[in-house]
Each structure stands twice: as C-alpha cells, then as structure tokens.
Amino acid sequence: MPTDNRIRDLVIVGGGTAGWMTAASLANHFQGSGLKITLIESSAIGTIGVGEATIPTIRRFYQSLGLRDLDVLKATHGTVKLGIRFDGWLNKDSSFIHPFGVYGQDLRDIPFHQYWLRLRAAGEKVDLGDYSLAVALARGGRFTTPSPNPPSTLSVFDWALHFDAGLFAQLMRQTAEKLGVQRIDAKIEKVELNPENGHIAGLLLDSGATVTGDLFVDCSGFRGLLIEGAMSAGYEDWGQWLLCDRALAAQGYAITPPPPFTRVTAHNAGWRWTIPLQHRTGHGYVYSSRHISDSDAEAELLSAVGGDLKMAPRRITFTPGRRRQAWKGNCVAIGLSSGFLEPLESTSIALIETGIDKLKQLFPQRDIDPLLVDEYNDWSRREMERVRDFIILHYWLNRREDTAFWRDCRAIDLPDTLTRKVQMWKRRGHMVRYRWEMFQPASWLAIYAGFDFLPDGYDPALDGFDVPSLSRGLAGMRKAIADTVADCPTHQEFIDRYAKVVV
C-alpha cells in the first residue's frame, strides 16, 4: 500500500492580521480534508497593527469566507476607500487621486489615454481624473456600490475599506475558530530542527509543551522567528531605492464627514497618512532617518495633526526589502515575516492575500517537493519587485527642490524592470505589463499623469481623427460621469444608512 504523504498538521506562528487571515482562509479551503490547523500566539506580545487601508482585493478575500461587505464595515468600524489622494508630491501645491477604477472608454482598440493625449497635444488640457467615476465620487465625497452590470466602462469602478486592523483580525479569528482552527496562547522558547534535513521538527513553548507539525507558516512579523531565526532564509535590502526606514503611527479623533479616500501628504523627509474610520482617524509619518531625526519627525507629525491625538505616536523601524526565500524547507513566511514595503499604496494586507493564495495553489506533501518551493519563491520575488517598482516611481517622479530627501529620491538609479516600463511609456505611451503585477495599467496611468510625466507623442492612428469631434466625444464622457455622481448619496449618508456603528 502506498504511504500517506499528505500534510496532516499545519502550524501557524503568530496571530494578528496575517496569522488569522491565513488560518481562516486555509481552514475554509481545506474543509473536510482532515488537515489540522493550529495557531500559536502570545497575548503578551503585541502586533504591529497600523495598517488600516486596503485595496479592493480584500473584499474578494473575505467574501470567499462568506462575509458580506456591510457586515465587515460594521464589525471593523470601517469606511469606504475609493482611492488615494496624493498631496504635495509633484510639488508643494499639487494634488491628484489614484483611483480604484478605469479612465474613459477605449475606442477602435486604441486605449483611452491615447485619445486624451491627442487632445492635450491639440491644446485641450483636461484633468485625466475627470474621466474616472471613482475620482469624481471621491472628490465629491459621494459613494454608491458599483453596478453589477455597468452600461459602459464610464460606470466601472471598485472600492476597498479603511478599517480597524485589530477588529479585522478578531473577525478573522472568529471565522477561523468556527472552522476548527485551534489556538494556543504561549510564547515559543525554542525552534527544534530535524538534523537530517534541516526542517522544523517542533516548537518548544514556555508552558513546557512541544508542538509538532508537517508544515509551518511564519506570521511572526518583522522578527521572522521561524523563517529567519531558525531557517536563516536571508534578507534582501532595498534601501538603495526606498529611502524611508521609519514610521510613526498615531490615532486621532474621527473626521466628520469622513472622506472616501486615503490621504498621503508629502513632508520634509517622507510622507504622512490620514485614514478615516468611523470612530477614529489613523495618522502616521513614514520617513528617512538619514534625512530627519526621530524627534524632529515626531514634532513634524504633531504639528501637522494639531496634537489632537488619542494616543502618543508609536515608532516602528523597518528595512524595506524581502526575504530571499519566503519558503524554505517546511516553513513558509506570510506577511511582514516575508518582507516589507512601506504602506504608500496599502499593499501589506494584499501581499498577505497573495501569499495565502500561492500556498493554496502549491500546497505540498510532507516530503516538500523542491519544485513547489522554487515556484513559490520565484512568484513571491517577482510580485514583490513589481510592487517595489510601483512605489519607487512615486518618489522618482517628484519635482520638489525644497529638501535633500526629495532631491535624493529623484537621483536614485532605477531597477532595470522599472527603467524599461518608464522608457516605453515616455517614448510611445505604451504600458509594459509583467507577470505577477498587482497594479494594472490604470494605476500606472494615474501616477504618470498625476506627476505630469507624459509621453512625447500619441498613437499616430489618431491623426486621422477630427479634433473638434474628438473633443465633443470626450466632453460627453465627462458629463456622463458628472451626472452619475450628482445622483449618488454622500459617503456619510451611505455609512449612516448601511454600516453605522454607535461608539
């Protein structure tokens, strides 16, 4: 008879958002399979828990667990996020929105942005955001759920959530435990390795007990207790491209009415986030310790928010980069233990989602096939690099001259993958797309246009178009979007009607 080589015992180390999302999703995916999932966390150890902004993939994630949008909004004291508003990034007076949605309508197999570029070349300088329903809703402080059958791309947009990450982790824990995940509240004193293959054999707890398993998932945060502390997977530092290595996180009082977008404001040595929840506002300052002292950064943050805080700022130190091997032996790192990219585009939770998804697709047997490990690591590397490049672009395109930080950001040598993207865009208005891209062309277009980094020309096929007719056609698009927004309730009205939390 063949030997049963299936994974029977899976152990997750660390709770928080990453640990409980992993536990809930895997328990749901492997229902009835006989897989036992145990999560070890210590109530004496805190979690980072500052991530309060997401991208739309989070909604697909919790919907796969049977949770509904409005229920999650209520449970997490959440608000709607239609995109991110960048203030002061191009120069001190600039502002634009990166939306969760598309721009205009493609015609005759030619992307919409080429028509927009054609009109600009003819002297018509219309804001690209006027062709995005998500941008128009965000600017107007309005929201309604997207149409399930949009009549045209002018009606297409998506949305995400601002939420209390601690409350979301609790919701994930409740979901996971209903699905049979067992929780152990303990500290890990020692990681025991198998001397024959270097795999993790068991975890010695402070209670004296030892927990064994076939596969271990490291969700222990920056520490990387298993993947680095025990497995020595190595870390690739990306500080030569991303200069920020510190963050201050604080909580302020609620903004009324809450805007349906995250706000990121450029500062002397980094940027400040403003994330509105129903019961509070998340504030933070991500900065470079090479360009400002910790005390001056805190003073700058307090001055910007007026000192009206519920809690004093908490400092977080990080090294931007990724684990060289997100999967080594019988240990898979998910969340901060696998690497960290600053929260400029709210990617931390999304990278947890994709880490879980990759593990589902490549779930091993007990002998841990190296081919699966290599595929997981290659996918993880490429995905992290793609997100890294997108974030680098925000800094590199700035035109600020007021501080050394912004000048230094502009002077970096771009990674080859980003250089090719930028050159193809600048020369032809062409969007290069790689595998494992988290951000689609509309997102790249939002950043290029927001920083006024536009191609030298446009698609020559548009030379055959009558410019006045083209102008009237695009004006019709803008009017259709404006009319739609005028008929929508305000964001506050939507929250009050469907997801209001009394605190």
Q: pLDDT tens-digit profile of 395-404?
A: 999 999 999 9
Q: What is the structure's pLDDT at 3? A: 72
Residue type, 121: A
In angstroms, the first-to-last Cα distance of the chain is: 61
Sorted by where each begins, the domain ranges of the chain are: 9-52+164-238+320-368, 101-151+387-491, 246-317
Burial 3-35 (b: 16+ CB within 10 A, else e): eeeebeebbbbbbbbbbbbbbbbbbebbeeeeb
Name the catalytic one among 81, 328, 358, 421: 81
**Residue 112 corresponds to which tokens in the numbers above?**
């919409």
C-alpha span between 331 and 210 (Å, rounded): 17
Q: What is the structure's pLDDT at 435? A: 87
Strands (E) located in 122-227:
160-162, 182-185, 188-193, 200-205, 210-212, 215-218
Annotated active-site residue 92? The verdict is no
Low-confidence ranges of the chain (pLDDT < 70): 1-2, 46-51, 503
Q: What is the structure's pLDDT at 54? A: 97
The structure tokens 């492997």 sit at: 30
Q: What is the structure's pLDDT at 2? A: 58
Q: pLDDT tens-digit profile of 274-318?
A: 999 999 999 999 999 999 999 999 999 999 998 778 888 999 999
DSSP letters, 212-280, are E-SEEEE--GGG-TTTTTTT---EEE-TTT----EEEEEEEPPPSSPPSSEEEEEETTEEEEEEE-SS-
C-alpha span between 216 and 360 (Å, rounded): 14
Q: Note the CATH architecture for domain 9-52+164-238+320-368.
A: 3-Layer(bba) Sandwich (3.50)
C-alpha span between 24 and 274 (Å, rounded): 29
Other Cβ atoms less than 10 A from the Cβ of 469: the count is 9
Write the Ramachandran bin of 298: left for phi over 0, alpha for psi from -120 to 50, otherwise beta.
alpha
Under a CB-based contact definition with an 8 Å cutoff, are residues 273 and 345 in contact?
Answer: no
Considering the entire predicted model, what is its pTM? 0.96
Which among 502, 321, 295, 331 has a CA at the least distance from the CA of 415?
A: 321
Q: What is the structure's pLDDT at 309? A: 87
